[in-house]
Amino acid sequence: MTRLFGTDGVRGLANKDLTVSMALKLGAAAARVLTADRKSSDLRPIAIVGRDPRVSGEMLAAALSAGMASCGVDVLRVGVIPTPGVAFLTDDYGADMGVMISASHNPMPDNGIKFFSSGGRKLPDTVEDEIEAAMNDLPETGPTGTGVGRVIEEAPDAQDRYLAHLREATPTDLTGIKVVVDCANGAASEVAPLAYEAAGAEVIAIHNRPNALNINDNCGSTHIEQVQKAVIEHGADLGLAHDGDADRCLAVDAAGNVVDGDQIMAILAVGMKEKSELRKNTLVATVMSNLGLRIAMEEQGITMLETKVGDRYVLEELNAGGFSLGGEQSGHIVLPDHCTTGDGTLTGLKLMSRMAETGSSLAELAGVMTVLPQVLINVPVEDKNAIMGDERVNAAIREAEEELGSTGRVLLRASGTEALFRVMVEAAESEQARKVAGRLAAVVASI
């Protein structure tokens, strides 16, 4: 049986894979599991619910809220706000759980549901499994009368609380920095420009007019060419690109060159080490990070630990080791001293703060790391689980590894959110990486 939860919550085509009835049951099951250990109190449990602006968000928010209220949980709806905003508000309001309705970088027809426990923390696999099991064991009836939860439709101070938190985390004056921010017509369309302006930056916002249908539509971090063009056009110092729920951030320097999550981590790691903020001189990244990041960190005297792909696994390693910086090449950057999950707006603020503190351009700061040629091919597949067990794939991997030797590496993995298998190859030369990746992708596609 396929597990309902993927690497980042429950995700699928809204109203087909992710239905209203499923959302209703998920809300009720999550409420039962996440409030089960709550100490007795005169106050009912509270859940925070936020969403990105895609059209199905309102529908799913209503279903989830109804499910939680049916279990006696009071629901506070905070509207359109980034995923890290929901995580922060779950803690800041002292709520028992939080829910974000978003499919992140996926196209508009998709949607997803992510849960946070008290304190705004992502759930471990074991708790997600409990929620999934509880969906099949829900009682026919729930509390009645005064025991039924209330749904509060608006939290007027939610955005202000989140903005104040971001400013407190990054007090550096950014006056003199001109930044283009691509909001992906998503959850950060209002928050990100306000946060950057409050810090003193001159902000040019693009794709910041969501209409429920245009989220991630040829914009945002999955279409970095849009912000590259705008940076050159406006003569900006840098560009920042967020995804639909703004838990990630990619950057572009003044010449239009992409600065990805690996380079951003390298920049922040060096700066934090200088200020004795990089605990245990350790950076946590994933197996997808470029080999160049590991080499750069070794040169800087910084240890780099690797996890499985997914910011939740980065978070687990950060928490287990007491580290202070981690993230992914895709732009999920986690700073546990300030947030419990990846926060794209906070990342943008930290990156510009480093520029302001050093007086260096983004290109100069990114020079701490040399990016080795890396090719990533996404192969559509019907059965992701069958790929790695196929001997043809394993034989092709062995052949590729022998060819690359110590100057490169191969990584094949199933996407946790889409019907894709990802083939990644690094090599000393771009042409070699392309050829090897192409051969591997062809084998995967033939399965």
The values of phi and psi at residue 287, to 5°, are -65, -15
Sorted by sequence, the CB contacts under 8 Å of residue 303 that are 6+ apart come out as 280, 281, 282, 283, 297
Asked whether residue 276 is marked as a ligand-binding residue, the answer is no
Residue 260 assigned to a binding site: no
* Known catalytic membership, residue 104: yes
104 labelled binding-site residue: yes
With beta carbons less than 8 A apart as the criterion, state whether 211 and 185 touch. Answer: yes
Q: Tell me the C-alpha to C-alpha distance, in Å, between residue 334 and each of 7, 26, 169, 208, 313.
A: 16, 27, 13, 24, 11
| Sign of the CA dihedral running 387, 388, 390, 391 | positive
| Three-class DSSP labels, the chain | CCCCCECCEEEEEECCCECHHHHHHHHHHHHHHHCCCCCCCCCCCEEEEEECCCCCHHHHHHHHHHHHHCCCCEEEEEEECCHHHHHHHHHHCCCCEEEEECCCCCCCCEEEEEEEECCCEECCHHHHHHHHHHHCCCCCCCCCHHHCCCEECCCCCHHHHHHHHHHHHCCCCCCCCEEEEECCCCCCCCHHHHHHHHCCCEEEEECCCCCCCCCCCCCHHHCCHHHHHHHHHHCCCEEEEECCCCCCEEEEECCCCEECHHHHHHHHHHHHHHCCCCHHHEEEEECCCCHHHHHHHHHCCCEEEEECCCHHHHHHHHHHHCCCCEECCCCCEECCCCCCCCCHHHHHHHHHHHHHHHCCCHHHHHCCCCCCCEEEEEEECCCHHHHCCCHHHHHHHHHHHHHHHHHCEEEEEECCCCCEEEEEEECCCHHHHHHHHHHHHHHHHHC
* Region label for 79, one of left (φ > 0), alpha (ψ between -120 and 50) or beta (otherwise): left
Is residue 117 marked as binding?
no
Of 66, 51, 153, the closest CA to residue 111 belongs to 51
Catalytic residue from among 102, 104, 118, 330: 104
Q: Which residues are catalytic?
A: 104
Annotated binding-site residue numbers for Mg(2+): 104, 243, 245, 247
